[in-house]
């Protein structure tokens, strides 16, 4: 169950909740989408805080992470490095993370064993398919929320804000899972898609995206998510805050896995 929760949160990170409620906002959104579809690379800085609690077993877990990433879209590839701090009760553990995702496969660094691992090709293929979803399909997911998004502007930015709670957000997250999380991925982590959907309640979702006025490039986004998952008499509450900044757009040439990593990585199956 808990693996499914983490995976669901990961999937939710791939969705963009932007829309419009006026002609001006529609024009901005359309131009921003055109620019994003033409983007071929970027650098991303992301801070993420997660808090998980379960009253059944008095479990509380807090995770804080800071990540720096480079990514390309054709071909789809990513290099990511950062730190993660996990706190459970009075115990705290700091972990360094590093990952390559390229056509060579998905490689992650395990700081505990100080070694590289390679995920099996089947799971990597599913992740690649997930990343290649048509942007038009993402826009279609937003249709029920078009009248609920606030549109603002500052001297040099446009801002889209969305706040939702209850059933309407549950419906959106169901579409996200159906669109991005294949049944094979869920099976690989021991979870059934329908069971996750039935047990999930999104209590509140706040999302903000900032667009550059001159270039129509995405500058930042922020998301606050509060949800509960109940299954087999157990309940877990998840609170998640994400802040990300895009820089270096169209400046990343290519991402390649170092030969040393290729030579020494241990293959893992899930």
The predicted-structure confidence for 198-215, as pLDDT tens digits, reads as follows: 777 878 888 788 889 999
- CA–CA gap between residue 230 and residue 234 (Å, rounded): 5
**Residue 260 pLDDT class (50, 70, 90 cuts):** very high
CA proximity to 265, closest of 122, 118, 124 = 118
- CA–CA gap between residue 9 and residue 16 (Å, rounded): 14
161 pLDDT above the threshold of 70 = yes
CA proximity to 18, closest of 249, 266, 211 = 211
- CA–CA gap between residue 71 and residue 235 (Å, rounded): 36
The residue-averaged pLDDT of 52-63 equals: 82
More confident site: 205 or 177: 205
- Mean pLDDT across the chain: 75
- CA–CA gap between residue 171 and residue 152 (Å, rounded): 26
- Predicted pLDDT of residue 139: 40
- CA–CA gap between residue 66 and residue 96 (Å, rounded): 10
**Residue 36 pLDDT class (50, 70, 90 cuts):** confident
160 pLDDT above the threshold of 80 = yes
The residue-averaged pLDDT of 77-90 equals: 90
Q: Which domains, and CATH codes, for the chain?
A: 2-268 (2.50.20.20)
The residue-averaged pLDDT of 20-43 equals: 76
Which residue has tokens 């720096």?
Answer: 68
Residues 5-18 pLDDT 10s: 444 444 444 343 33
Residues 119-144 pLDDT 10s: 865 555 555 544 443 333 344 455 55
- Predicted pLDDT of residue 228: 84
- CA–CA gap between residue 166 and residue 155 (Å, rounded): 34
- Beta pairing class for 115-119 and 266-268: parallel
CA proximity to 152, closest of 161, 144, 143 = 161
- Predicted pLDDT of residue 2: 43
CA proximity to 4, closest of 262, 230, 253 = 230
Cis peptide before 193 (omega within 30 of 0): no
Q: What percentage of residues in the chain have a pLDDT greater than 90?
A: 23
Q: Mean pLDDT check: name the lowest of 7-11, 16-20, 55-59, 63-67.
A: 16-20
């Amino acid at each position: 169950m808990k693996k499914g929760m983490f995976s669901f949160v990961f999937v939710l990170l791939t969705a963009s909740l932007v829309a419009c409620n006026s002609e001006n906002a529609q024009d901005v959104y359309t131009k921003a989408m055109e620019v994003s579809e033409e983007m071929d690379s970027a650098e991303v800085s992301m801070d993420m805080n997660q808090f998980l609690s379960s009253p059944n077993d008095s479990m509380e877990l807090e995770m804080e992470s800071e990540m720096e990433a480079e990514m390309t879209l054709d071909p789809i590839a990513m290099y990511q490095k950062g730190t993660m701090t996990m706190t459970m009760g009075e115990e705290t553990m700091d972990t360094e993370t590093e990952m390559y995702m390229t056509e060579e496969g998905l490689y992650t660094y395990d700081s505990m064993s100080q070694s590289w691992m390679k995920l099996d090709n089947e799971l990597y293929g599913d992740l690649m398919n997930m990343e290649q979803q048509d942007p038009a399909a993402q826009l279609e997911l937003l249709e029920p929320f078009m009248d609920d998004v606030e549109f603002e502007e500052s001297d040099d930015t446009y801002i889209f804000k969305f706040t939702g709670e209850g059933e309407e957000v549950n419906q959106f997250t169901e579409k996200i899972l159906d669109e991005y999380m294949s049944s094979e991925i869920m099976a690989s982590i021991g979870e059934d898609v329908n069971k996750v959907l039935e047990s999930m309640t999104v209590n509140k979702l706040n999302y903000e995206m900032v667009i550059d006025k001159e270039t129509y490039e995405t500058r930042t986004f922020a998301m606050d998510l509060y949800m509960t998952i109940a299954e087999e008499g157990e309940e877990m509450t998840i609170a998640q805050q994400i802040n990300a900044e895009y820089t270096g757009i169209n400046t990343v040439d290519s991402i390649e896995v170092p030969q040393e990593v290729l030579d020494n990585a241990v293959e893992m199956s899930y």
